């Protein structure tokens, strides 16, 4: 790769590129932060998915909670507040909210208006805090699917081996999935063997790819990108040097993970997460685990090689637009198949009864607020989150 190419990142910074993509942040699970970033009692503002969120950790249970950040009273940010036991106190007038978003306490009065803030479903998964976002912007009580357990990580067979932080990337979330079906770009962008973590080419060596792509037969929210990659020397491939990679595209791409299988050694699992801060700005994080039989130097090489290849794509992603009707040729991968699959994430999973005025027996979302059962719920007029 020439130096001039490396210096072309993100030339088109205006709104024209964004206007070519579908509007909205697709429904799915997103990583907000690593669990280790918050101690019990800590509070953090997170600006993402078109929302201002506050994440806090209960002093009592240690549980992580995610709420809309702004107090219904006078609009102060709860992210400046203080955790008091299980609750979060607003810094402005000390109104206290529970992790379920309900107002629990106001100083010097027992008369509580029945207001609250949205509380979002979160899960602690593989050392990360994941939140389900619905494209409607509402908070679902029951997400349509759960984060997938990875037994080797959960039972401690695979060990945590590292993480990597990069500056925000000015790309659209969908581009990672688009890239997975673009089989023609592998030779062009990913054909060189590079030193791990860099784009410095290793002379005479190259990489040959055999990519594939398919949707999970049982769980429609998952698709897989597969690649058998082996080293080439002066143009001749050496299949014995190869390894298989299977990348799980979990929903619209907020969370994806790679399973690299190294023959006779074991597997490496690399999470790559995308959190949209803006339509064309992603916070991207990498975090990996490995079978202890895989030597650390090899883990470093495999992960570093992937990061090198990923960097080659970034330059394209930061400048490209979305072509709704791309000019495809027979050699291109299953672009339309992937796009048909991806469309499902632009549909809300709000339960049909959401708009129904019938009394609710369980927690449901109403007018943008999580409320408990109907007998405890305030009137719709009072519940309106925009009521001033
Ligand atoms: Fe690529």
DSSP letters, 61-108, are: T--EEEEESB-TTT--BGGGSEEETTEEE-TTT--EE-TTSBEEEBTT
Mean pLDDT by 10 residues, the chain (388 residues): 55 92 97 98 98 98 98 98 98 98 97 96 98 96 96 97 97 97 94 93 94 97 96 93 94 97 94 98 98 97 94 94 95 96 95 52 34 32 30
Q: In whole angstroms, how far apart are CA 264 and each of 49, 257, 294?
A: 42, 21, 9
* pLDDT at position 13: 87
Q: ∠ CA(22), CA(26), CA(30), 5° rounding?
A: 140
Residue matched to tokens 């429609």: 220
35 close to 287: Cβ distance less than 8 angstroms? no
Look at residue 372 in the predicted model and tell me its pLDDT: 33
| 273, containing H or E segment | strand 266-278
Distance 82 CA to ligand 1 centre (A): 44
Q: How far is the CA of 70 from the centre of ligand 1 (A)?
A: 39
SS3 helix, strand, coil % of the chain, rounded to 5? 20, 35, 45
Q: What is the C-alpha to C-alpha distance for residues 207 and 186, in angstroms, rounded to an integer?
A: 9
Q: Residues spanned by CATH 2.102.10.10 within the chain? A: 24-147+350-388
**Residue 12 C-alpha to ligand 1 middle, in angstroms?**
20
What number does CATH give the domain 153-343? 3.90.380.10
List CB contacts of 255: < 8 A, sequence separation 6 or more: 28, 29, 30, 31, 130, 147, 271, 273, 274
Q: Are 305 and 198 in contact (CB under 8 A)?
A: no
Which pLDDT belongs to residue 164?
Answer: 97
Yes or no: say if 178 and 145 are a contact pair by the CB < 8 Å rule: no
C-alpha 39, offset from chain centre: 22
pLDDT at 263: 86
Tokens standing for 29? 């699970």
Q: What is the pLDDT of residue 8?
A: 64
Contact indicator for 206, 192 with CB cutoff of 8 Å:
yes
Q: Are 137 and 348 in contact (CB under 8 A)?
A: no
Fold for the domain defined by 24-147+350-388? Rieske Iron-sulfur Protein (2.102.10)
Q: Do 46 and 54 touch, CB atoms closer than 8 A?
A: yes
C-alpha of residue 187 to centroid of ligand 1, in Å: 10
How high is the pLDDT of residue 76?
98
Quote the pLDDT of residue 353. 65
Count CB-CB contacts under 10 A for residue 368: 17
CA–centroid distance, residue 316 to ligand 1 (Å): 9
Whole-number Å distance, alpha carbon 238 to ligand 1 midpoint, is: 22
What pLDDT does residue 354 have? 62
Report CA(306)–ligand 1 centroid distance (Å).
10
The pLDDT of residue 219 is 97
Which residues, by Cβ under 5 Å, contact ligand 1, an ion?
179, 313
The residue assigned the tokens 């860099």 is 198
For ligand 1, the distance from its centroid to the CA atom of residue 293, given in whole angstroms, is 29
**Cα 143 to ligand 1 centre (Å):** 31
What CA–CA distance (Å, rounded) separates 213 from 222? Answer: 11
Strand-strand pairing, 159-165 and 192-194: unpaired
- Structural contact between residues 250 and 270, judged by C-beta atoms closer than 8 angstroms: no
pTM of the shown model: 0.88
Please list the residue range(s) of the chain that carry CATH number 3.90.380.10: 153-343
The CA 297 to ligand 1 mean position distance, Å, reads: 24
- The answer to whether 43 touches 140, Cβ cutoff 8 Å, is no
Contact 284, 272 (CB under 8 A): yes
**What pLDDT shows up at residue 308?**
94
Report CA(247)–ligand 1 centroid distance (Å).
13
Cα dihedral 184, 185, 186, 192 sign: positive
How far does residue 249's CA lie from ligand 1's centre (Å)? 14
pLDDT at 10: 86
Q: Show the tokens assigned to 59.
A: 């002093």
Is residue 259 a contact partner of residue 246, using CB atoms and an 8 Å limit? Answer: yes
Task: Calculate how far, in angstroms, residue 184's C-alpha sits from the geometric centre of ligand 1.
Answer: 9
Supply the pLDDT for residue 363.
Answer: 33
């Amino acid at each position: 790769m020439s130096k001039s190419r490396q210096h072309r990142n993100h030339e088109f910074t205006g709104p024209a590129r964004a206007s070519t993509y579908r509007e909205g942040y697709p429904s799915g699970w997103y990583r907000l932060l690593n669990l280790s970033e918050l101690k019990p009692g800590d509070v953090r503002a997170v600006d993402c998915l078109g929302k201002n969120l506050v994440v806090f950790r209960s002093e009592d249970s240690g549980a992580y909670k995610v709420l809309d950040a702004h107090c219904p009273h006078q609009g102060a940010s709860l992210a400046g507040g203080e955790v008091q036991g299980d609750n979060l106190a607003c810094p402005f007038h000390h109104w206290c909210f529970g992790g379920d978003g309900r107002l629990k306490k106001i100083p010097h009065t027992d008369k509580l208006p029945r207001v609250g803030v949205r509380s979002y479903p979160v899960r602690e998964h593989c050392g990360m805090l994941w939140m389900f976002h619905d494209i409607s912007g509402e908070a679902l009580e029951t997400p349509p699917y759960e984060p997938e357990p990875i037994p080797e990580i959960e039972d401690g067979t695979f060990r945590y081996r590292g993480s990597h932080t990069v500056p925000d990337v000015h790309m659209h979330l969908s581009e990672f999935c688009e890239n997975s079906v673009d089989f023609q770009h592998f030779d062009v962008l990913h054909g060189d063997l590079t030193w791990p973590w860099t784009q410095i080419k290793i002379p005479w060596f190259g990489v040959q790819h055999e990519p594939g792509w398919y949707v999970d037969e049982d769980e429609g929210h998952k698709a897989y990108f597969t690649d058998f990659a082996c080293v080439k020397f002066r143009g001749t491939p050496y299949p014995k040097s190869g390894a298989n990679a299977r990348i799980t595209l979990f929903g619209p791409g907020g969370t994806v993970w790679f399973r690299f299988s190294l023959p006779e050694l074991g597997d490496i699992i690399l999470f790559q997460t995308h959190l949209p801060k803006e339509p064309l700005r992603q916070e991207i994080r990498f975090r990996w685990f490995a079978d202890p039989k895989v030597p650390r130097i090899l883990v470093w090489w495999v992960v570093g090689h992937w990061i090198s290849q990923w960097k080659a794509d970034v330059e394209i992603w930061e400048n490209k637009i979305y072509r709704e009707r791309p000019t495809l040729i027979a050699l291109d991968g299953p672009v339309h198949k992937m796009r048909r699959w991806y469309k499902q994430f632009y549909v809300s999973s709000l339960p049909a009864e959401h708009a129904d005025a019938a009394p609710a027996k369980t927690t449901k979302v109403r007018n943008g607020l999580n409320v408990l059962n109907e007998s405890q719920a305030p009137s719709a007029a009072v519940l309106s989150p925009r009521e001033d």
